[in-house]
Amino acid sequence: MTAGDRRVVVTGLGPVTSIGVGADDFHAAQLKGLSGVRPITRFDAGGMPVRIAGEVDLPAARAPAARDAATADRSTHLAVAAAGLALESSGLDLAAEDRTRIGVVIGTGSGGVSTWETNTAALLTHGPGRLGARFIPMSMANSPASRICLDLGLLGPSSAVVTACASGADALVTASQMITSGEADVVLAGGTEAPVTRMLVGGFAKIRALSTRNDRPEQASRPFSADRDGFVLAEGAAVLVLESAAHAAARGARVLAELRGFGRSSDAHHVTAPHPEGAGAARALRAALRSAGLRPQDVSHINAHGTGTGYNDAAEAKALHAALGEAAGRIPVSAIKSMTGHALGAAGAIEAVAAVQAIDRGVVPPTTNLAEPDPALGLDVVGGTPRDLPVDAVLSNSFAFGGHNVVLAFTRPAPA
């Protein structure tokens, strides 16, 4: 095939989030500015400094069967649900496809952490005889990708990506490379995370990364706000169906957007704090523009990493100004973690879905809880209500602990 045939397009969306499950419900919730943050129910959080999180309510039709519930971690259940939704959204008929040409890439930050936590407690309390027989496969970071392949009978390349909060976006990069290299024609790619556990909530609270607005859960996540005090941990997953443009055209698929390019970099600065000037993030932004053949003035919208911590939001704003110049102050910016919370390794994939929907539906979601935007950031953060506008190109940012930076560039699909 020619290089043009290997352009990477998006044909299916499968978000599983605290504000909605499925593309339509997820998009409607974004436009309403709904919050999925609430008091924690997945464990007894009494006595903990942080007692709020974004939890997912899986509809009965998407929940695992009883025989499957005990054989996989919740992170895998969420990923499997997301893959099913994405596949249905794409209209891809697996029975008519060469399954050796369909790949899977799923990113995660912590893998089967609830399985690990439960078995650690059993080991320390009762000894090794009480470890679960499926403990190892359930807790592996590659378990979600493996389970999707098993359930759907997919025989192409499969992989897991672990780059903390950039994992979901990084998985889309890997999937894109599988397609452009000719290794696969279709890849189900995204991220998953189920971190609402006593250990992870306690651990992030210990390093003062989380908001402590326990009495006002829906107002706790406040990206780019002057009074932001930390992010809100969340569970979730999202899978996108990526295809070569030629494959999508051959089957008459509806193309939602094109994954035109990407940029990646490392901060090499600190294990948890971003570079104070956003230097690594700026390099990733510039690389994404180059890869996509875009100029700063071509960018219609920025889906920000926007966690709501003091350091992250400030560093991201500096990176945007450094990479985009004067355009940075006039491009509409949204941070949907204000609604969903921060789903760590799934966040980049969830936000990629939102970026694609902004292009496909011509509307930019709001950033909630933005009563007092931080004037020092110099950004046009969309607050209050969504904005209807033509969206031709979106940059979707994911910046992670460890200094991993990934920026995805999505554009309106070229005319057929």
Residues designated as active site: 165, 305, 342
CA-based Rg of the chain, rounded to a whole angstrom? 20
Q: Determine the straight-line distance between the first and last CA of the chain, rounded to whole angstroms.
A: 17
Whole-angstrom Cα distance, residue 364 to residue 384?
11
